[in-house]
Amino acid sequence: MWRRLGSAWNVRRGFSSAVRQRIEDEGDWSYSSEWWRADSDGHTVFRSISDKGNGLVSVVAYPSSQPNDVHWPEMERWLQRRQLEVLPVCEREGRFRILGYQWRALRFNDDTRQSTVKVMAAYRESEPGSVCLMQQPHCLAVPYLKSMLSAGLATIASCSYDIIEKAVHGKKTMNILCIGHGGGSLPLFLASKIKGALIHVVEIDPLVISASIKAMGFPAFSVMTQSGQRVFSKPNAIDEVLWKGIHEKLYLYESDAENFVLDNNNLYDMIFIDAYDGDDIFPRKLWDPNSPFLKALSTQLHPEHGTVVVNLHSDSELLNPDGSVPSVLEQILPMGKYVSRIARAYKDVLVGNGKEGSGLGFTVSVPWVCNTSLVVCRGLQKSGGHLNRDFFMNTIMSKSLEVENLLDLPFSCLQYIKRGLMLVD
């Protein structure tokens, strides 16, 4: 989840970090006016009551201006080629036609925007009444996701660039855990950009999973049973056209995060955590240093380069001089005052609190919104118990450029790691 930072609504966009010709970023903040709207501007396409603490779960659709309809025939041709490539002759039943593109926002209790994705709607001429939705994996709309990806990937690349390079080309498996699913844009982006990625996604609320698949175009083949098998033994024909090569790498589990990590012994290269509930609270058991969750997570993080990235609400620009939260903001930012405690807990449990080189943690402020990305990594070492902030910053910035070019990202990584970087003591 994320919050708009009122004082930064019109902040000038950060400078580009590369001279290469970058593809258009359909999730650029300049398009936020299309999906940051009043209820009257959109229409509800999913609505139900959760029994997992998220209250009223809904998905609201808004028109998208991009890609322009002049580009739709190109996408139709891509779909036709895919159909010829992946389906047997007996299942090639008519050409695909694009109906349009929409933003779709997942919301809790009608006022918390949990996530936003872009979807394409299409149909096959042989089945004009059957519409399929395809979430656009290249489009990340909310800034905190770009911050998590930029800071996390630049950090693990700073430990060993080969980890990223080989995984991107499918020469090495990169095991990733995403705790908190939302609309699924983060794991889908990773699966589409990193050929060697295998991604476990953990979501406690089956209603959120249902909303992401039925109303937000997330691939249904990813859903797993409690016994660890896929719900669907094989994808249907249309899903195979849309997702072949991607949905096989996604494993979406309905589970409490603590139970999931306690019940398995997987080893992860990267872990992304974004797990706020319907009351906009980051559950204490996911950050308490004495919790079984953090202790179990520590055993499942790769010992040499394991990197954890956590999305946190931040109130650093809104605190009282003594660091306390103004009373008027207590209900608006219920977790902000605990950001430093969460950062310390993750660092101490996952990399230790000793002064010798056991790893480190840092935070960066997210542009345009009131969020902080926390990164804890086992592979970045201190020398003699000290780390020069400028040297560390230059290292991360340099690796961010390499990652950005390697993955052919539509946005500048540097823009999302250069603001307010602070080391966790």
CATH T-level topology, domain 143-423:
Rossmann fold (3.40.50)
Instruction: Please give the DSSP secondary-structure letter assigned to residue 19.
Output: -
Question: In the chain, what is the greatest distance between 2 CA atoms, to the nearest angstrom?
Answer: 70
Residue 198 has pLDDT above 70, yes or no: yes
Confidence (pLDDT) at 278: 73
Residue 9's pLDDT band (cuts 50, 70, 90):
very low
Instruction: Please give the DSSP secondary-structure letter assigned to residue 247.
Output: G
Residue 142 has pLDDT above 80, yes or no: yes
Confidence (pLDDT) at 38: 60
Pair of tokens at residue 129: 């009444």
Confidence (pLDDT) at 13: 34
Residue by residue, DSSP assigns 137-177 as TT---SHHHHHHHHHHHHHHHHH-HHHHHHHHTTSS-EEEE
362: which strand partners?
375, 423
Confidence (pLDDT) at 53: 85
CA–centroid distance for 280 within its chain: 17
Residue 290 has pLDDT above 80, yes or no: yes
Residue 270 has pLDDT above 90, yes or no: yes
Residue 319's pLDDT band (cuts 50, 70, 90):
very low
Question: For the segment 43-96, what is each residue's pLDDT rounded down to a tens digit?
Answer: 999 999 999 988 999 999 999 999 999 999 999 999 999 999 999 998 898 899
Average pLDDT of the segment spanning 204-218: 97
Residue 105 has pLDDT above 90, yes or no: yes
Average pLDDT of the segment spanning 326-345: 64
Distance (Å, whole) CA 310 – CA 185: 16
Residue 17 has pLDDT above 90, yes or no: no
CB of 377 within 8 A of CB of 351? yes
Residue 385's pLDDT band (cuts 50, 70, 90):
low
Distance (Å, whole) CA 215 – CA 245: 22
Question: For the segment 230-243, what is each residue's pLDDT rounded down to a tens digit?
Answer: 999 999 999 999 99
Residue 397's pLDDT band (cuts 50, 70, 90):
very high
Percent of the chain with pLDDT over 90: 69
Confidence (pLDDT) at 128: 82
Confidence (pLDDT) at 229: 96
Distance (Å, whole) CA 231 – CA 225: 6
Average pLDDT of the segment spanning 127-138: 93
Hey, which of 4-13, 249-258, 315-324 has the most confident mean pLDDT?
Answer: 249-258
Confidence (pLDDT) at 176: 98
368: which strand partners?
none
Domain with CATH 3.40.50.150 in the chain: 143-423
Residue 343's pLDDT band (cuts 50, 70, 90):
very high
The length of the chain, given as a count of residues: 425
